[in-house]
Structure 1
Amino acid sequence: MAISIEDHHLPYETHNLYDVKFFDDRIHTLVTHTSSFVNTWIAETQQKLLQNNNHAHRPLIVGLDVEWRPNRFRQIENPVATLQLSAGNACLIFQLLHCPTGIPQSLYDFLSDMTYTFVGVGIEGDVRKLTEDYELSVGNAVDLRGLAAEKLGDFKWNKSGIKTLAREVLGKEIEKPKRITLSRWDNAWLTTAQVQYACLDAFLSCKIGESLLAA
């Protein structure tokens, strides 16, 4: 099977670990609502990004995506429930909505750092919602749709979703089940299907961004 997930079933209230298998990639995924684990993930990720990238030739790329409980009523706008970040084969799913101690300063600093390029599909809307809901700002955000239109030389990519871009840029097929898209992202415990979905959105954004920016 091209896509699968392994739940490590850690006996903790603060976090859990998963391995998401996507074709030949194994994505190590941390799900947490606890600031200290976010601090550690960011520190380790920054170190790896610096080690693995040549600053003179390519930017430091991080896939970004968010999820929230679907809005059932027009007058009610539900806040972002999870923030997903992916760099290399590491993914963080941070449950902001359930963070008991507030968002750590390390995340504010990481997202606003102009040396990183945060990429995603429709990322402007995600960034705006992060700012409105949590006063989080992203210093350097690039929409993969516009980037694909520029690099691939066709404006039709301006309306593409991540499924289409993954197929065109990476040659990989992915499903986006509506039952997961519209599921309860505000639940304290995410299902394995939600974790897999959220992880792959951020991971694929990162890989598509890497491929397009290297072109």
Structure 2
Amino acid sequence: MYPVVTMSVVDHNLPFHTHNYNLYEVTFQCCHYDTIIHTLLTSDPSRVASWLPNNDGVRRRNNLMVGLDVEWRPNYQPNTQPNPVATLQLCTGHRCLIFQIIHAPSIPAALISFLANPNITFFGVGIRADAEKLLVDYNLHVANVRDLRPLAVERLSRAFYPDVSQAGLATLARHVLGVAVEKPQWITRSRWDDRRLTKEQVQYATIDAFLSYEIGRQLNDPSAIM
């Protein structure tokens, strides 16, 4: 049995209609983790640009690692096109951005450059499909992606972890981080295109991006695997 992660979210309740953004503190707590993730939720291109590390910051950090995930509204009608990406989540360290790209008036040039920077590695489960969807839906090119599943196959013993080649994020969190994370289907399949996301959606989106970052970080550090 793996210890279950305790999660909570604090909403700073900024006036949404005035600022078009909000700030949250998402807690990820379990055994060796006691982490507060500072999350910006916004559809404002200028807020997105301000959140992103600048080029000098990327160069100083030498191959920056970023967790990436996307969400969109489920489509329950057969033989119809999937809905466009509604949110783009990025996480580095204890900082997370949830960009409500579907409601944004434009995509900032800083984000276009950030995603296309070959010195930044973006981690996620099935991230090539996510990158392809960003390209199709918004003409956004993610230059340097690493799928966590083949990375786990390279790093983990197949004798002990035979299922990682098809693993989801929760399974990889158990194997790599040693923690159990709950991913409720009612949130997974919720209305991600709503203009006002719930605290549960913000927590879910933040944790997915954080896990993508943290699992990628540990798989790249031989001494960090639990």
Q: TM-score, normalised by structure 2?
A: 0.88
Q: Shift in Å at residue 46 of structure 1?
A: 7.0
Partner of 2:195: 188
Partner of 1:107: 111
Matched, 1:18 2:29: no
Deviates more, 1:20-29 or 1:1-10: 1-10
Matched, 1:38 2:41: no
Q: Shift in Å at residue 131 of structure 1?
A: 0.3
Deviates more, 1:23-32 or 1:3-12: 3-12
Aligned length in residues: 208
Moved over 2 A (4+): 43-47, 153-156
Instruction: Show the 5 A alignment for 1:1-215.
Output: 2-13=6-17, 14-23=20-29, 24-43=34-53, 47=57, 53=61, 55=62, 59-73=63-77, 74-100=79-105, 102-154=106-158, 156-215=163-222
Unaligned stretches of 5+ residues in structure 1? none
Q: Residue 19 of structure 1 aligns to a residue in which SS? A: strand
Q: TM-score, normalised by structure 1?
A: 0.92
CA distance in 2, matches of 1:37, 1:115: 23
Q: Deviations over 1:165-190 (max 9, x none)?
A: 11111112110000000000000000
Q: Residue 214 of structure 1 aligns to a residue in which SS? A: coil
| Percent sequence identity over aligned pairs | 50
Change (3 A) 1:45 1:121: farther
CA distance in 2, matches of 1:196, 1:46: 30
Q: Quick one: which amino acid aligns to residue 98 of structure 2?
A: I
Change (3 A) 1:15 1:81: same
Q: Deviations over 1:63-88 (max 9, x none)?
A: 00000000112313200000000001
Q: Quick one: which amino acid aligns to residue 169 of structure 1?
A: V
Asked if 2 retains the 8 angstrom alpha-carbon contact of 1:97 and 1:186, the reply is yes
Unaligned stretches of 5+ residues in structure 2? none
